[in-house]
Amino acid sequence: MDRGTFEADAKGAGYEIATSTAPANKVTQPHAHEVDVRALVISGELTLTANGASRTYREGEVFEMPAGCVHSERHGAHGSEVVVGRRPSHVHQPETSS
């Protein structure tokens, strides 16, 4: 997914947008956020581990995480740059009619 489309979709769903960068091989201990997260990897890679499973996200890939999800992060050998959308967990995307 491209950045413009990601940002437009995320803003439409109530997310505030920021950019996050991490240095090579940065690892975070298990933690949780008080907000829902939707993010797009712009460069590098990021491995998330939650509920005993790990997945690596690379450039152009999007991930979502609900508020309260305990996870750890491992950034790749070249670090990472991620566009992050954050929204209070009580805000939900508007329903669309079919």
pLDDT digits 0-9 by tens, 1-17: 999 999 999 999 999 99
pLDDT score at 93: 52
Q: Residue ranges of the alpha helices (H) in the chain?
A: 3-12
pLDDT score at 91: 58
Cα separation, 82 vs 61, in Å, equals 10
For residue 94, being part of any structural domain is answered with no
Tokens of 51: 């509920």
Closest CA to 24 of 77, 90, 62, 82: 77
Structural domain that includes position 71: 3-77+84-88
For residue 95, being part of any structural domain is answered with no
Cα separation, 7 vs 71, in Å, equals 24
CATH, residue 48: 2.60.120.10
pLDDT score at 17: 98
Average pLDDT by consecutive 10-residue portion of the chain (98 residues)?
Answer: 96 96 97 96 97 96 96 97 93 51
For residue 97, being part of any structural domain is answered with no
For residue 93, being part of any structural domain is answered with no
Whether the pTM exceeds 0.75: the reply is yes
